[in-house]
Chain A
Amino acid sequence: MYVAVKGGEKAIDNAHALMRHQRRGDTAIAELSVTQIQQQLPLAIDRIMNEGSVYDPELAALALKQASGDAAEAIFLLRAYRTTLPRFGYSEPLNTEAMQIERRISGTFKDLPGGQILGSTYDYTHRLLDFTLLAEGEAPLAPSETGEMEQCPRVLELLNKEGLIEQSRQPGEEDQTPRDLTREPVNFPAERAVRLQNLIRGDEGFLLSLSYTAMRGYGDSHPFAGEMRTGLVSVELVPEELGFPIEIGEVLLTESEMVNQFHGSKEQPPQFTRGYGIAFGRSERKAMTVALVERALRAEELGEEVLYPTQDQEFVLSHTDGVSANGFVSHLKLPHYVDFQSELEMIRRLRKENANVQQEAEQ
């Protein structure tokens, strides 16, 4: 006699044990430590912090280890952890102009005050596999002395002096506390501060592809990299008891400002328009793609025709979240046999009726 399948609990326990076993791999090989991951895979850590929305390199490294190297899974772990963290308050707006710059480039001018500082980058490497790394034979280079840093004023402010680029803030406009999209539901159309939050914690691959479409003709985008700067920025908080700001730490940030063209209207002479992006760590790709997509999403606000998906707020902002996307796609692995049974019953019935109709027609 048929007995219903039981044992779901046991199956799950065994699955978890097997997963832990695979994660560890060959026990004859040394175990990877969280510190090693944090130190030696920093760019992976940066991505996890951005999409996990928590600045804590050690936790990101732990998540990556626990996730067997799967960035999406690690990001999920960090997000879930974030939910449980108590909130003290909001920091003061970060002053990226006072950044301790380690890298700073501009595509719009050959030279500029502060200079082009290449910093550490893969950009000009030749992509040839380095087999000396395989043999673990990389001798650490002693860092050389860094010279005195020149002042690095913002490139976009240089354009601003001539009135060539739109103001990021209207004269007299006050700073406003942005809505926190992790606490309140998002409604469309969403204001710029909410859009930026959404993009920054969005899946890097999705933003990259959208930027690609915008540059390849599915958008009216002719961007220039006005400025990109990477470095440490201090984070300040005003505790209630003190009433003045104190520094509570530093974060490593990469900031990207894009310059785009605008066609002037009858009221306004033509001006360049802005796209802004920022990310934790040395995530240049992330900062740039945020700037490109956020500019595309400003199409309606700037009176441009909305023709392409990248310009469509609802289309883009509803689908940036990698954690949600992963969850929903992977949910297909859950049992769906009841819905499927409903479909089976329907299709069998329709086919039967169809067959009857055919039969009658032939008689």
Chain B
Amino acid sequence: MNALTDMNKGAEGYNFAYLDEQSKRMIRRAILKGVAIPGYQVPFGGREMPLPHGWGTGGMQVTASVIGNSDKLKVIDQGADDTTNAVSIRRFFARTAGVETTEQTAEASLIQTRHRIPERQLQEDQILIYQVPIPEPLRFIEPRETETRKMHALSEYGAMQVKLYEDVARFGHIATSYDYPVMVNGRYMMDPSPIPKFDNPKMDMMPALQLFGAGFEKRIYAVPPYTRVQSLDFDDYPFEVQSWEENCSICGSDHSFLDEVIIDDAGSKMFVCSDTDYCRERVELYGPTEEKQP
């Protein structure tokens, strides 16, 4: 098998991983620029993908540009491999790139994710690719792109701090619970994508490379391994993560992000790990939890 047949492995009539080589080159250049300037949004000539805008095309373009024959791809949405859109995207790459796919975080070399970071710590040889709907953290404070560009260039981030002040004045807390803005490498304010703030600390000094793709808005950004990522707050109102009183009903974890599941008409609830692979792994290691089930 030579390089040419390798490249054509995959869906009939399409290049490896769907995008043509020129496009991949263009995207990789944007990625390199993003890695060189952590947290800075690099504009790129986003391509039309066969999935709708807003459904992960940015993440997909990044994945398509970095994926190779020997990669193992994991795709999750809301932390689970089996949600419909994760299934759809995983199939897309299985078809157009013919690569191996996996549900196990430990086995994956590339992980494309929507709205969660895996619970299991990632390693240096892994890449986490986030799907981002709106890359601009200041967008809802300042709708104009021309103005937000200046604000980033001049580090004028006071307006965001004003929003946080207002939250504390009104609610006694910073009220943002997901899509919580961060400072990267002490220089650029970044939108971490709509992950729950629970996941923000995982980004700080992560050994894996983190790439972010916003297809709709045509922006790519990156956080290189072992980079400082700090969530915005006040000295006297420090950043806090979410917590639950309950543990996971399946594996007993007291430190994962939990999904709330309504199990009957009376509204009885149950809490289970949102990261299905992590939950499965814990059950394998420790057995299912012995807590009484409702």
Q: Is B one of A's binding partners? A: yes
A79 at the interface (CB under 8 A from B): yes
B145 at the interface (CB under 8 A from A): yes
Residue of A nearest to B170 (CB): A350
A6 at the interface (CB under 8 A from B): yes
- Nearest CB on A from B196, distance (A): 4
For the complex, count residues of B whose C-beta is within 8 A of A. 67
Taking A331-B54, A338-B115 as contacts, is the C-beta distance between A346 and B175 under 8 angstroms? yes
- Nearest CB on A from B258, distance (A): 8
Taking A2-B263, A343-B177 as contacts, is the C-beta distance between A335 and B83 under 8 angstroms? yes
- Interface residues as binary, A1-38 with B (CB distance below 8 Å gives 1, 0 otherwise): 11011111101100000000000000000000000000
In Å, the complex CA distance between A110 and B79 comes to 67
Taking A323-B48, A327-B216 as contacts, is the C-beta distance between A339 and B115 under 8 angstroms? yes
B47 at the interface (CB under 8 A from A): yes
Residue of A nearest to B57 (CB): A327
A76 at the interface (CB under 8 A from B): yes
* B82 close to A327 (CB less than 8 A): no
- Nearest CB on A from B217, distance (A): 9
Q: Identify which of B13, B91, B133, B196 gathers the most chain A CB atoms within 10 Å of its CB.
A: B196
- Nearest CB on A from B46, distance (A): 7
In Å, the complex CA distance between A327 and B53 comes to 4
- Interface residues as binary, B32-74 with A (CB distance below 8 Å gives 1, 0 otherwise): 0000000000011111111011110100000000000000000
B162 at the interface (CB under 8 A from A): no
From 197 to 238 in chain A, residues with beta carbon under 8 angstroms from any chain B beta carbon are none
For the complex, count residues of A whose C-beta is within 8 A of B. 49
In Å, the complex CA distance between A328 and B259 comes to 25
* A338 close to B54 (CB less than 8 A): no
B274 cross-chain contacts in A, Cβ below 8 A? 338, 341
* B84 close to A314 (CB less than 8 A): no
- Nearest CB on B from A320, distance (A): 13
Chain A interface helix/strand/loop/mixed: helix
A121 at the interface (CB under 8 A from B): no
B6 at the interface (CB under 8 A from A): no
A82 at the interface (CB under 8 A from B): yes
Q: Which of B183-191, B223-231, B242-250 contacts A (4 or more CB under 8 A)?
A: B242-250
- Interface residues as binary, B181-209 with A (CB distance below 8 Å gives 1, 0 otherwise): 00000000000001111100000000000
A248 at the interface (CB under 8 A from B): no
- Nearest CB on A from B274, distance (A): 6
A127 at the interface (CB under 8 A from B): no
* A83 close to B49 (CB less than 8 A): yes
In Å, the complex CA distance between A129 and B79 comes to 54
- Nearest CB on A from B129, distance (A): 17
From 301 to 357 in chain A, residues with beta carbon under 8 angstroms from any chain B beta carbon are 314, 318, 323-324, 326-331, 334-339, 341-346, 349-350, 353
B293 cross-chain contacts in A, Cβ below 8 A? 1-2
- Nearest CB on B from A182, distance (A): 7
B286 at the interface (CB under 8 A from A): no
In Å, the complex CA distance between A10 and B250 comes to 24
- Nearest CB on B from A313, distance (A): 9
- Interface residues as binary, B146-164 with A (CB distance below 8 Å gives 1, 0 otherwise): 1000000000000000000
Taking A328-B216, A331-B133 as contacts, is the C-beta distance between A342 and B196 under 8 angstroms? yes
A98 at the interface (CB under 8 A from B): no
In Å, the complex CA distance between A335 and B116 comes to 12
B178 at the interface (CB under 8 A from A): yes
- Nearest CB on B from A72, distance (A): 10
A359 at the interface (CB under 8 A from B): no
In Å, the complex CA distance between A8 and B84 comes to 5
Taking A84-B14, A185-B44 as contacts, is the C-beta distance between A323 and B53 under 8 angstroms? yes
Taking A2-B263, A8-B82 as contacts, is the C-beta distance between A342 and B77 under 8 angstroms? no
In Å, the complex CA distance between A118 and B47 comes to 41
* B47 close to A83 (CB less than 8 A): yes
Taking A12-B87, A188-B146, A328-B133 as contacts, is the C-beta distance between A182 and B250 under 8 angstroms? no
From 54 to 98 in chain A, residues with beta carbon under 8 angstroms from any chain B beta carbon are 76, 79-80, 82-84, 86
* B133 close to A346 (CB less than 8 A): no
A-B CB proximity, top 3 nearest: A327-B53, A327-B52, A331-B54
Q: List 12 A-B contacts (CB under 8 A).
A: A8-B84, A80-B50, A84-B13, A84-B20, A314-B146, A327-B55, A329-B54, A331-B52, A334-B85, A341-B258, A341-B260, A350-B175
